[in-house]
């Protein structure tokens, strides 16, 4: 079955739209080499799915970052995505993890959603992490900031090389309120019957047919989702220019080289004296 796809769907006579995301490779690359505890892998999986679902609601080209921050064992976790479904992410721990609820992981904290269009103003939305699941925290965000009734179903499996993450989103269309509310209730009840294993393991068509066969879901062409860090030697050089040549040469005299590591993908960028002199010439 084909993984790492975002499916969008609508219905003939119902004023609700839906999205289904299924991820494997992208998720595995985000958690790969980082040695996160299981509960943190699962949190990043849910955050990844949620970011992908949210990215699909953007009506313009740009980037979105969904960040959780708190005073618990997980200091922060973030996934960055863009309208082409390029994803990267990271979590930072400050203590041993015990438990898997949002409060057990993040303690007292916030979810910060930052939307950065290529053209136009940056938008930031903040909601407190007062619900036990990420899905509920996001539903609260939609209720407060978009005033659009929205439900999310998120599922992850962190079994070694078979790590998978999946999610569903339903959202009312901003049309006739009474009708869309009824339609939403109907589809919400159907979607509530989905099991995590089904979301993770069945192909998209089977999932949607199983849930909505009587309501005729219409699928759009799916969009590919991929891991892409976006770091580069060029961008690292831009950052080094701000440090200044003298400070860099001093560092090289002490350590033999300047080494900059990307926090996201753990790539090392190394510079010797010759490299540094070339940058400033
Ligand atoms: Zn990187």
Taking only the tens place, the pLDDT of each residue in 17-41 is 999 999 999 999 999 989 999 999 9
Whole-number pLDDT of residue 161:
75
Res 56: pLDDT: 87
Mean pLDDT of 107-123: 94
pLDDT of residue 57: 80
81 sits in the region (left: phi over 0; alpha: psi -120 to 50; else beta) called: beta
Whole-number Å distance between alpha carbons of 179 and 150? 15
Q: Is the pLDDT of residue 162 over 90?
A: no
Tell me how far the alpha carbon of residue 8 lies from the centroid of ligand 1, in angstroms.
Answer: 29
User: Ligand 1 centroid vs 99 CA: distance in angstroms?
Assistant: 29
Decide if 76 contacts 93 (C-beta within 8 A): no
Nearest to 170 by CA among 48, 4, 8: 8
Task: Report pLDDT for 160.
Answer: 66
Q: Work out the pLDDT band at 3, boundaries 50, 70, 90.
A: confident
Distance from residue 237's CA to the centre of ligand 1 (Å)? 14
User: Which residues, 6 or more positions from 229, have their beta carbon under 8 angstroms from its beta carbon?
Assistant: 88, 262, 264, 265, 267
Q: What is the pLDDT of residues 216-271, one digit of tens each?
A: 999 999 999 999 998 999 999 999 999 999 999 999 999 999 999 999 999 999 99
Tell me how far the alpha carbon of residue 91 lies from the centroid of ligand 1, in angstroms.
Answer: 14
pLDDT interval class at 274 (50, 70, 90): very high
What's the gap in Å between 20 CA and the centre of ligand 1?
A: 27
In angstroms, what is the span from residue 44 Cα to ligand 1's centroid?
17
Q: Where in the chain is the domain with CATH 3.55.30.10?
A: 5-227
Q: State how far the Cα of 226 lies from the Cα of 241, in Å rounded to an integer.
A: 31
Cα–ligand 1 centroid distance for 192 (angstroms): 38
pLDDT in tens, 126-139: 999 999 999 999 99
**d(CA 136, ligand 1 centre) in Å:** 31
pLDDT at 1: 61
**The predicted structure's pLDDT at residue 281:** 86
**Confidence band, pLDDT 50/70/90 cuts, at residue 117:** very high
Judge: domain 233-280, CATH 3.40.1350.10: no
Beta-carbon neighbour count of residue 256 at 10 Å? 11
- 87 CA distance to ligand 1 centroid (A)? 11
Q: The whole model's pTM is what?
A: 0.92
User: What spacing in Å lies between the alpha carbon of 90 and ligand 1's midpoint?
Assistant: 11
Distance CA 7, CA 12 (A): 17
Average pLDDT value for residue range 173-195: 93
Could you give phi then psi for residue 121, rounded to 5 degrees? -80, 145
* Structure token digits, residue 21: 């995301």
> Within the chain, which residue ranges are assigned CATH 3.90.1280.10?
233-280
Rounded CA separation 68/73 (Å): 12
Spacing, Cα 49 to ligand 1 middle (Å): 20
Give me the pLDDT at residue 146, please: 78
As a whole number, the mean pLDDT across the chain is 94
- CATH number for the domain whose boundaries are 5-227: 3.55.30.10
């Amino acid at each position: 079955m084909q993984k790492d796809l975002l499916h969008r769907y609508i219905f003939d006579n119902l004023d609700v739209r839906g999205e289904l995301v299924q991820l494997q490779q992208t998720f595995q690359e985000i958690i790969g080499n980082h040695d996160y505890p299981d509960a943190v892998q699962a949190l990043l999986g849910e955050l990844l799915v949620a970011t992908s679902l949210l990215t699909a609601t953007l009506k313009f080209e740009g980037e979105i970052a969904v960040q959780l921050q708190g005073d618990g064992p997980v200091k922060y976790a973030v996934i960055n995505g863009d309208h082409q479904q390029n994803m990267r992410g990271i979590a930072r721990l400050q203590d041993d993890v015990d438990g898997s609820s949002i409060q057990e992981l993040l303690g007292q904290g916030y979810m910060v959603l930052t939307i950065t269009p290529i053209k136009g103003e940056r938008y930031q939305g903040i909601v407190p992490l007062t619900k036990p699941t990420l899905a509920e925290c996001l539903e609260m965000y939609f209720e407060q900031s978009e005033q659009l009734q929205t439900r999310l179903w998120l599922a992850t499996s962190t079994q070694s090389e078979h790590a998978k993450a999946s999610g569903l989103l339903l959202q009312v269309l901003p049309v006739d309120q009474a009708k869309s509310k009824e339609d939403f209730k109907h589809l919400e009840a159907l979607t509530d019957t989905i099991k995590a294993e089904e979301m993770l393991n069945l192909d998209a068509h089977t999932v949607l047919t199983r849930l909505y066969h009587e309501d005729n879901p219409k699928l759009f062409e799916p969009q590919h989702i991929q891991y892409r860090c976006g770091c580069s030697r060029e961008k690292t050089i831009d950052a080094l220019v701000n440090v200044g040549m003298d400070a860099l040469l001093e560092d090289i005299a002490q350590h033999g080289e300047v080494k900059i590591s990307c926090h996201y993908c753990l790539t090392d960028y190394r510079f010797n004296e010759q490299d540094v002199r070339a940058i400033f010439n």
